[in-house]
Structure 1
Amino acid sequence: MNHGYNFYKPSSDEDYTQLYRVMDTAFKDEDVTSIVRNFVENYPEMTGDNYFMIKHDNEAVAGLLLIPQTWCIDGVEFKVAEMGCVGTAPMHRQRGLQRILNARYDEYAKERGYDLCVLAGIPYFYRQFGYQYAVELDYLTEIKIRKIPDGPRLETRQFSEDNIEQAMSLLENIQKRYMVQSNRTKTIWKTQLKTGIYGAEPFKSIAVFEDAQLIAYYRYQYLEEEKTYVIRELAQVTPQYVPRVAATIKIKAEELGADKIKTKLSHTDHFSQYLKKLGAKMNTPYAWQVKILNPVNFLRKLGPVLENRLEESKFKGLSKVLKFNFWKYGISLSFEDGKLLDVKETTEASRNIGLNPYASIQLFMGYRSRFDLQYAYQDFIIRDEYEELIDVLFPRKPGYIHYCY
């Protein structure tokens, strides 16, 4: 490390104060300090080990966070480390400090058994650290309130802790439509309700009832200057309730003076599809950037998913060794009677299945199809006889991450 710079993990109140100062300096026009403080004060599962700093002459000048999460791919859980609040004081930039922090971050994540590193950061910069866009992020659907039909109003109340159990069930039910989704614990639900923070944004919660039964809930933020009612999360018991929930939201939004509704839901959920039919505009979403720390372990853990996909296809009962050539290394997957028996590195990988290692992240996470990747990358090569099998093992299917902090 350059002279005068040292790596630190915070262990005192003064260390955390210095970390806050770094964020103030690095993000002058954004209140990133409040985000960091929220983690420090409200998420006890995040210890000093989750905060990474570099000091110069005993003053913090760069930092980042590791936010632990659990994501699921078609029901199989993966341990995820989200990198957040990455900042360097302006006077200390262009000195490789974030390279050092990223190396320490990866080392720690591997030691602690994380499967994936993810982030929602700025474009391009993180490619140098092995990240690839691989899960949809920041969906936006926008509609004028007047376009939403009036309808009978459902009963609404402020969401309370007593509603959490039922709301968890509603959310888990709608999450089944996504290949990649998050696992939010009851503890996180309680913390979000207490802090009023969802991701990095403030929110309020509404519970929606019919005949004293919770049939929906949603989280919103009202932007007064824009006269916009922003729905950040929503789940209902069945799609049949969508028009009535929308009419109820319309009334609540108009009471605040809104003339526009924006949703941060996916584009495939029933509520967004309903708004689309009414003339809503939809954006092209951004994406989570993802790095697979150990491809062998990742594919091994994905085994039950691959077996289920084979079971439901014409390849049921497959007995075959698939050799994936990632150009820098090879991995073989041994199937017998539809079961994945072994995943290991190999030096015998052929060119029947040649996978650009970065593009393959998009394949494994369902973000891009085999067809699209073959078209985009000349070093993504699937021979004709393997194309249909790869399509079965790794289908294109959207993901959606509900924030777990």
Structure 2
Amino acid sequence: MHSQTAASSSYRKELGDGLVLRWSTPADTERLTQLAAHVFRDKAEEPPNEDMGAYARALMQGDHPLMSSYDFGLVEDTHKEGNPVVACACLWRHEWEYEGLRFPVGRPEIVASDPQYRNRGLIRELFALLHARSESEGHPVQAITGIPYFYRQFGYEYALDLGGSCTINLALLPQLKAGGQETCQLRSATRADIDFIQHCYTRRQADSIVWNSLPDAFWQYHIDAWHQVPLNVHNDLQLILDPAGERLGYVFAMARRGGPRFTVWAMDIAPGVNAQQVMPSLLHALKALGEQAIVTQTNVGPLQKLSLSLGGSHPLYTVISKQLVPVINKPYAWYVRVHDLPAFLYRLAPVLERRLAASALAGYSGDLKLNFYRDGVQLTFKAGKLEQVTPWRVPTYEANASASFAPLVFLQLLFGYRKLEDLRYAFPDTNVADEAEALLGVLFPTRPSFVFG
């Protein structure tokens, strides 16, 4: 009942000292904008981050594909004039897939608190609010891209690769030879290009255990933004064309540059295109796009580096000339939270059964008992089918766990992020019974996932 209440737009909670926790309305737009601009700065003496403020304002316009203007949780100080917003976080909605099985995901974003109000538990209150709404909407998983360590305290674990990039020093990029012709060019995407963009974007899906299924509305939003308030645009969606105007691929890049680096967030080439032949001209086009980006700060200086943030690995990385000395930067990680692990594992039954059927353990019957020290789960199989997944605790005497993992560490195995032997090496309290090792390897293989975020 509490979760249903907290999920409601009318929910309101007094936190003491005039602080009130509630959900946003469009009337809160400017106060949320002011908080974001104030908090997201590297130094106290820096001016407000107008770029971040504009981003918060754009999220509150009511047309974002992942949230509405009623999806910011906020804390306001009613004892101060104007009731300033002193902490906030919003909830986005994604559709992810686990080897083709789709499920909704709640994603906290724009987490901010005024430095004068920190260490009072305001972010904990906000996350309880966001979790309540996310769970009430049927999201079995929450995920966030956030600062190191912090979100562990709210039940999150690093469990998927996030980002990873290839950085190119543009000073090393050779000029087009005299009399030469570029093999590709860029143009702004239109709504008519969305099907083609989706076709290119999903080419890597089969390589990932987990995949972010972006809706058409996501691409449409970034296309339409240029025709509404161009100065508030944060991302630029471009098509890669050959000299005859035929579509070769797409580029999703930053539209605003606050430093010497220009970042491409996603880029894929259509099937049948010779990426190696296109790449030199594509890099020239990306350099020009970066030079045209909206400059958000004074004294930014010239563009120096191009960052292709396409994951820890990408087929396009392999066709970049070694003469450019590309630097591969390792991924960070998504934080992932699964609030009801037995229910989520049972939801994955078709995937787990398919893995079993294709293995040397086809037709397996038995129990897999996973001990998480504070609690655990039991997966019961019969003739290769997952009959049930139930909460389980290791008995006081005659412990019979199939495997043991410290709390939340199992999520790294579940999402294919780390191998069992890696977890044993990093966490000495990871133990696996001999008879369960092969089964765990079949049910939970390791494979890097590119989850666009």
Shorter-chain TM-score above 0.5: yes
> What is residue 202 of structure 1 aligned with on the other side?
235
CA distance in 2, matches of 1:211, 1:343: 57
Write the deviation string for residues 347-374 of structure 1: whole angstroms up to 9, x where unpaired. Answer: 4573231122221111111111111011
Q: Does 1:275 align with 2:275?
A: no
> What is residue 383 of structure 1 aligned with on the other side?
433
CA distance in 2, matches of 1:337, 1:83: 40
Q: In the TM superposition, what are the counterparts of 1:203-222 in structure 2 within 5 Å? A: 203-209=236-242, 213-221=246-254
- Counterpart AA for 2:370: F
The answer for unaligned runs of 5 or more in structure 2 is: 1-14, 43-48, 292-302
Q: Does 1:5 align with 2:19?
A: yes
CA distance in 2, matches of 1:98, 1:322: 37
Q: Does 1:296 align with 2:342?
A: yes
- Counterpart AA for 1:4: G
The worse-fitting range, judged by mean Cα deviation, of 172-181 and 148-157 is 148-157
Relative to structure 1, the CA distance from residue 167 to residue 202 in structure 2 (aligned partners, 3 Å threshold; closer, same or farther) is: closer
Q: Does 1:324 align with 2:355?
A: no
2:448 to 393, 398, 403: 398
> What is residue 297 of structure 2 aligned with on the other side?
none
Once the two structures are TM-superposed, the CA of residue 69 in structure 1 deviates from its matched residue by 0.8
Q: Which has the higher contact order (CA 8 A, sep 6+)?
A: 1
> What is residue 46 of structure 1 aligned with on the other side?
67
Relative to structure 1, the CA distance from residue 267 to residue 59 in structure 2 (aligned partners, 3 Å threshold; closer, same or farther) is: closer
> What is residue 79 of structure 1 aligned with on the other side?
104
- Counterpart AA for 2:251: Y
Relative to structure 1, the CA distance from residue 112 to residue 276 in structure 2 (aligned partners, 3 Å threshold; closer, same or farther) is: farther
> What is residue 193 of structure 1 aligned with on the other side?
223
1:142 to 142, 145, 167: 167
Secondary structure at the aligned position of 1:392 is classed as: helix
CA distance in 1, matches of 2:145, 2:18: 31
CA contact (8 A) 2:65 2:217 kept: no
Write the deviation string for residues 185-228 of structure 1: whole angstroms up to 9, x where unpaired. Answer: 1111100222269xx94324123248664331222348878665
Q: Does 1:263 align with 2:313?
A: no
Relative to structure 1, the CA distance from residue 330 to residue 92 in structure 2 (aligned partners, 3 Å threshold; closer, same or farther) is: same
> What is residue 110 of structure 1 aligned with on the other side?
135
Matched residue count:
400
> What is residue 34 of structure 1 aligned with on the other side?
54
Q: Looking at CA atoms only, which structure, 1 or 2, has the larger radius of gyration? A: 2
Q: In the TM superposition, what are the counterparts of 1:339-358 in structure 2 within 5 Å? A: 339-347=385-393, 350-358=400-408
Relative to structure 1, the CA distance from residue 210 to residue 93 in structure 2 (aligned partners, 3 Å threshold; closer, same or farther) is: same
Relative to structure 1, the CA distance from residue 121 to residue 268 in structure 2 (aligned partners, 3 Å threshold; closer, same or farther) is: same
Once the two structures are TM-superposed, the CA of residue 32 in structure 1 deviates from its matched residue by 2.6
CA contact (8 A) 2:263 2:308 kept: yes
Write the deviation string for residues 268-304 of structure 1: whole angstroms up to 9, x where unpaired. Answer: 3210233386642111221111111110111111111
Q: Does 1:23 align with 2:36?
A: yes
Once the two structures are TM-superposed, the CA of residue 21 in structure 1 deviates from its matched residue by 2.4
Once the two structures are TM-superposed, the CA of residue 82 in structure 1 deviates from its matched residue by 0.9
Q: CA RMSD in A?
A: 2.7
Q: Does 1:63 align with 2:93?
A: no
Secondary structure at the aligned position of 2:24 is classed as: coil
CA distance in 2, matches of 1:229, 1:44: 25
Relative to structure 1, the CA distance from residue 248 to residue 400 in structure 2 (aligned partners, 3 Å threshold; closer, same or farther) is: same
Write the deviation string for residues 148-182 of structure 1: whole angstroms up to 9, x where unpaired. Answer: 89786146433222111111112112222111110
> What is residue 280 of structure 2 aligned with on the other side?
247
Relative to structure 1, the CA distance from residue 228 to residue 18 in structure 2 (aligned partners, 3 Å threshold; closer, same or farther) is: closer
CA distance in 1, matches of 2:174, 2:379: 51
Q: Does 1:235 align with 2:268?
A: yes
Relative to structure 1, the CA distance from residue 377 to residue 348 in structure 2 (aligned partners, 3 Å threshold; closer, same or farther) is: closer
Write the deviation string for residues 100-130 of structure 1: whole angstroms up to 9, x where unpaired. Answer: 1122222222222111111111111111111
Tell me the TM-score normalised to structure 1 length: 0.89
The answer for unaligned runs of 5 or more in structure 1 is: none
